[in-house]
Amino acid sequence: MVQRKKLRTCRKLVEKPDLFDALPDDLLECVLSKLISSAPSPSDFINVLLTCKRLNRVGLRPTVLSQAGPKALAVKAKNWSDSAHRFLKRCVFAGNLEACYTLGMIRFYCLQNRSSGTSLMAKAAMKSHAPALYSLAVIQFNGSGGGKNEKDLRAGVALCARAASIGHVDAVRELGHCLQDGYGVRQNIEKGRRLLIEANAREFFQSVSKTRTRHQSYYFQLARATDAQIPCSPLLSDFGYNVEAPEVHPVNNFLKEWFESGVSELGNGLRLCSYSGCGRPETRVHEYRRCSVCGKVNYCSRACQAIDWKTRHKRECVPPLAPLINDGDADGLEGMVEIAPAEFVGGH
Average pLDDT over residues 63-67: 94
> Quick check: 338 pLDDT over 50?
no
Q: Please tell me the predicted confidence (pLDDT) of residue 319.
A: 80
pLDDT in tens, 210-240: 655 554 444 444 444 444 443 333 344 454 4
Distance CA 175, CA 279 (A): 21
> Quick check: 194 pLDDT over 50?
yes
**152 Cβ partners below 8 Å, 6+ apart?**
140, 143
Q: Which residues of 135-147 are buried (b: 16+ CB within 10 A; e: fewer)?
A: bbbbbbbbbbbee
pLDDT in tens, 277-326: 899 999 999 999 888 888 889 999 988 988 888 888 888 888 875 444 44
> Quick check: 93 pLDDT over 70?
yes
Contact 282, 288 (CB under 8 A): yes
pLDDT in tens, 232-277: 333 444 544 566 667 889 999 999 999 988 777 887 889 999 998 8
The pTM (predicted TM-score) of the whole model is: 0.79
Beta strands in 171-211 (DSSP E): none
Q: What 3-state class would DSSP assign to 299?
A: strand
Q: Please tell me the predicted confidence (pLDDT) of residue 103.
A: 96
**Left if phi > 0, otherwise alpha if psi is -120 to 50, otherwise beta: which for 25?**
alpha
Q: Please tell me the predicted confidence (pLDDT) of residue 223.
A: 47
